[in-house]
Amino acid sequence: MPVDSDHVAMPSLGVIPARFGSSRFPGKPLVSLDGLPMVVRTARQAMASNLDSVVVATDDRRIVRACEDHGVDVLLTRGDHASGTDRVAEVARTRSERWIINIQGDEPLIDPQVINQVLQCMKTLSTPGIVTACTALETKAERENPNVVKALLHRDGQAQSFVRHLDGNRDGELTAYKHLGIYGYPRETLFAFTALEPSPTERRLRLEQWRALENNLAVVAVVTNYKGHGVDCPEDLPFVLECLRNGG
């Protein structure tokens, strides 16, 4: 069936959840990266993509002030959200965009082309689903690190599962990739997803993607060359700063 051009042309929104109270790295969104708060750098990268609008969603007035000081659209949200996706949904309910992308606030080097890939894929889905992004697993350390989430994909890009450990006995029809924490949702899919209760495997593995899989909601991945340079803890900062100073 041909894709409806009016449907595809509907506006898109990038939302960057930013919580001040991280247990591993308190105040992370405001850490300075060569003079700019991390969340502002992330927003500027997102603003260089094809998204029509980008907004930071936060529960902290310090982050609101930092965004406003640097000309970044920001919304103060509730403080009791269980996940960043719930915060994204709160923002989406105040707006009218059809296509919503959840961009992690600790990815100050996010490639705008990755956002574009997710957006384009989302607009061409034939059935309701979620779009995410993956990249190649390049090192043994990545493959063995439980903090590096692995996506097991069919050849058409549809995800069968997400795991923290690879057992080495996977079906030959599946390929393991490093999962990147970006998600695209058609508007109604976002609201349907956040209305679901956390699933059993989601609770066990602490991987929100399983809520979709265990409720028969497709998760489709685009494979990108961007390797992901997120800041999980202070020890990640020197590498990110080096990348910034070397042009990304």
Cβ atoms of 159 and 151 within 8 Å: the answer is: yes
Question: Which residue shows structure tokens 């042009």?
Answer: 247
pLDDT-derived band at 198, boundaries 50, 70, 90: very high
With 50 as the cut, is the pLDDT of residue 37 above it? yes
**Measured CA distances, 21 to 58, 70, 80 (Å):** 11, 21, 12
pLDDT-derived band at 11, boundaries 50, 70, 90: very high
With 60 as the cut, is the pLDDT of residue 6 above it? no
State pTM to two decimals. 0.92
**DSSP-derived 3-state class of residue 3:** coil
Distant-in-sequence, close-in-space partners of 242: CB < 8 Å, separation ≥ 6: none
Residue 7 is predicted with a pLDDT of 57
Residue 178 is predicted with a pLDDT of 95
Report the pLDDT averaged over residues 198-210: 94
With 70 as the cut, is the pLDDT of residue 96 above it? yes
With 70 as the cut, is the pLDDT of residue 3 above it? no
Report the pLDDT averaged over residues 39-66: 97
**Measured CA distances, 29 to 20, 59, 82, 147, 164 (Å):** 6, 12, 18, 20, 25
Token pair in block for residue 127: 């059935």
**pLDDT over 90 for what percent of the chain?**
75
Cβ atoms of 150 and 163 within 8 Å: the answer is: yes
Q: Which residue has the higher pLDDT, 171 or 89?
A: 89
Span 146-164, pLDDT tens digits: 889 999 999 999 999 999 9
Span 119-133, pLDDT tens digits: 999 999 988 899 999
Distant-in-sequence, close-in-space partners of 186: CB < 8 Å, separation ≥ 6: 98, 99, 100, 122, 125, 128
With 50 as the cut, is the pLDDT of residue 102 above it? yes
Report the pLDDT averaged over residues 69-74: 98
Question: Which residue shows structure tokens 């500027």?
Answer: 44
Tell me the H-state helices in 95-215: 112-123, 140-144, 187-194, 200-205, 209-213
Residue 229 is predicted with a pLDDT of 85
